[in-house]
């Protein structure tokens, strides 16, 4: 009797750094390669992955094998547990067994930024991503096609890779506005989008996170919403971003004139969530809000 091999949606890829390219003061692109990266699913949009980073003194990082790798990793003593961080795929080239990931350089205090600043060819890590052999929905993509709705995509520098990936997969007739806040004017990167998508880059300089993003998103929403398009203001449950994760994504997009996708620093995204849903009255079934990170706090695994 032949045993059927069950393929899970995600798998652990053992990869090494093939190339490191500094894109701007705040972005570094790392190209990974591995013997089985030809099996990495090229899903596009805002496809999330996880990277396991080396511990101090290591040049390689490994994860336990098997479908229950996460439980095995959690069971390890803390000093043997490689840090795991979540990123967005920037490009996939299965025929070359390559995956690109754009990393944001935030200071030098966290393990992810420290690794990114020092990454060199030959460094080894573990990458958890979608397996092309699985024929179902892999998960890890929060953007939803919106049946002709006008788009409002916005975020800080941590959302730039995701929004770039989304824009590259949009239909040519897509319309809307992209708003991106980055630390420096030199962080403006090439972004491919349909002609009906207006891209607005904002440099905050020494000002606080969201100082440019919040008013710009409010202005864009006012421009994109036609008179009478908003519904009655809706209450939303408050989220304490210091203790809870702000992550609200509809399973299916409602038939509404505007679909919003926003990601970045959780406190800023909470402010935008309140503005769009409570003050503008946008339907919660057509808005995605994701607190990618929290100012002053380490990333969650």
Q: What is the CATH number of the domain that holds 27?
A: 2.40.30.10
Question: Which pLDDT tens digit goes with each residue over 42-56?
Answer: 999 999 999 998 888
- Judge if 125 and 154 occupy the same domain: no
138 within some domain: no
- Judge if 160 and 112 occupy the same domain: no
Residue 5 lies in a domain: no
Domain assignment present for 2: no
* Position 3 in a domain: no
In the 8-state DSSP scheme, what is residue 40?
B
Q: Which residue, 130, 163, 180, sits at the end of a domain?
A: 130
| Residue 4 domain-assigned (yes or no) | no
Q: Tell me, what's the pLDDT at 240?
A: 59
pLDDT tens-place string over residues 50-105:
999 888 888 788 888 877 888 999 999 988 899 999 999 999 999 999 999 999 99
Evaluate whether residue 82 is within a structural domain.
Answer: yes
Closest to 158 in 3D by CA, of 222, 73, 101, 79: 101
Taking 70 as the threshold, does the pLDDT of residue 38 lie above it?
yes
Query: Has residue 24 got a pLDDT over 70?
Result: yes
* Residue 250 pLDDT: 86
- Rounded distance between C-alpha atoms, residue 275 and residue 111, angstroms: 34
Can you give the length of the chain in residues?
A: 301
Q: What is the pLDDT of residue 145?
A: 77
1 found inside a domain: no
* CB contact set of 259 (below 8 Å; sequence gap of 6+): 144, 146, 149, 150, 151, 152, 253, 286, 287
At 41 the pLDDT is 96
Provide the pLDDT for residue 5.
63
Domain count, the chain: 2
List, for residues 214-269, the tens digit of each pLDDT value: 999 999 999 998 765 555 556 666 665 566 678 889 887 767 889 999 999 999 99
What pLDDT does 301 receive? 47
Distance CA 258, CA 201 (A): 21
Do 165 and 254 lie in a common domain? yes
Q: What number is the average pLDDT over the span 263-290?
A: 92
Residue 170 has pLDDT above 90, yes or no: yes
Mean pLDDT over residues 3-21, rounded? Answer: 86
| Shared domain check, 242 and 119 | no
Residues 65 and 178 in one domain: no
Is 126 in the same domain as 154?
A: no
Q: Is 125 within a domain?
A: yes
Summarize the confidence of residues 118-136 as an average pLDDT: 93
Domain limits for position 176: 150-293
19 and 60: one domain?
yes
């Amino acid at each position: 009797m032949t045993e059927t091999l069950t393929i899970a949606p995600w798998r652990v890829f053992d990869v090494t750094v093939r190339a490191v390219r500094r894109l701007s003061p705040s972005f570094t692109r790392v190209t990974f390669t591995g013997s089985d990266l030809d099996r990495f699913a090229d899903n596009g949009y805002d496809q999330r992955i996880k990277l396991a980073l080396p511990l101090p003194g290591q040049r390689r990082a490994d994860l336990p094998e098997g479908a229950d790798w996460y439980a095995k990793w959690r069971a390890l003593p803390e000093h043997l547990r490689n840090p795991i961080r979540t990123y967005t795929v920037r490009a996939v080239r299965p025929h070359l067994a390559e995956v690109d990931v754009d990393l944001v350089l935030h200071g030098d205090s966290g393990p992810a930024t420290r690794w990114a600043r020092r990454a060199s060819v030959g460094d080894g890590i573990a990458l958890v991503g979608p397996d092309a052999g699985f024929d179902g929905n892999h998960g890890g993509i929060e953007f939803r096609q919106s049946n002709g709705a006008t788009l409002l995509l916005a975020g800080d520098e941590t959302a730039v890779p995701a929004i770039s990936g989304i824009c590259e997969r949009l239909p040519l007739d897509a319309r809307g506005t992209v708003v991106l806040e980055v630390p420096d004017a030199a962080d403006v990167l090439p972004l491919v989008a349909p002609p009906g998508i207006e891209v607005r880059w904002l440099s905050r300089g020494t000002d606080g996170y969201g100082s440019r993003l919040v008013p710009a998103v409010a202005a864009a929403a006012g421009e994109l919403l036609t008179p009478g398009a908003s519904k009655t203001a809706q209450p939303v449950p408050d989220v304490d971003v210091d203790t809870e994760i702000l992550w609200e994504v509809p399973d299916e997009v409602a038939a509404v004139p505007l679909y919003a996708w926003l990601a970045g620093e959780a406190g800023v995204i909470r402010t935008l969530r309140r503005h769009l849903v409570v003050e503008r009255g946008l339907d919660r079934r057509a808005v995605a809000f994701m607190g990618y990170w929290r100012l002053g706090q380490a990333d969650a695994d």
